[in-house]
Amino acid sequence: MIKERENEGRTIVRRQKENPECLASGCLEELQLKGLKKVSERVYHKVPFYKEAFRANGVKPEDIKNLKDLKRIPFTTREDLRARYPYGFLASPLSSLVRLHTSTGTTGKPKAVLFTQKDIDQAAQLITRSMKMTGAGPEDVFQNMMSYGLFTGGL
């Protein structure tokens, strides 16, 4: 299905299959639930911290039936990240990691986020889709003035 939108005299054509941000709400929720289930399964089976946290909250990945079940999944806190610095949350082999971002540690022990190439590619796709949603196109120039990379600013 193709969706068109007028933007400053230009028509931007998007294919919903390639642009999830254009999906109808029911389809988007289905996609979000699929992703939530996939991530829940992955971290439960690959990251000991999450297996224990899920168990402590009385939830297993197969208990996730709808998006409202998100509230049953425990939050990860800054303290959790600090206590397991730097490798305590790895769900991928160390050999697959291509980038490491850390906080400065000015408010305590540093926090680390490690990335695979797939993580970096997905981040680039998300940023690209966000820019497209604001009307930016291939001929536009964007300058990022932030001093952080990828998600590190949210630590």
Instruction: State which residues form the domain around 82.
Output: 77-135
Residue 21 lies in a domain: no
- pLDDT, tens digit, 9 for 90 and up, residues 51-73: 999 999 999 999 999 999 999 99
Report the distance separating Cα 33 and Cα 27, nearest Å.
10
Residue 93 lies in a domain: yes
Per mean pLDDT, which range of 20-24, 37-41, 81-85 is the poorest? Answer: 20-24
pTM (2 d.p.): 0.71
Helix/strand/coil for 15: strand
Contact residues for 37 (Cβ-Cβ < 8 A; gap 6+): 61, 64
Number of domains observed in the structure of the chain: 1
pLDDT value at position 6?
A: 43
Residue 108 lies in a domain: yes
Inform me whether the pLDDT recorded for 4 exceeds 90: no
Residue 121 lies in a domain: yes
Residue 12 lies in a domain: no
Q: What is the mean pLDDT of the chain?
A: 82
Inform me whether the pLDDT recorded for 139 exceeds 90: yes
- Residue that is written with structure tokens 């604001």 in the block: 134
Residue 116 lies in a domain: yes
Q: What percent of the chain has pLDDT over 90?
A: 45
pLDDT value at position 130?
A: 86
pLDDT band (50, 70, 90) for residue 43: very high
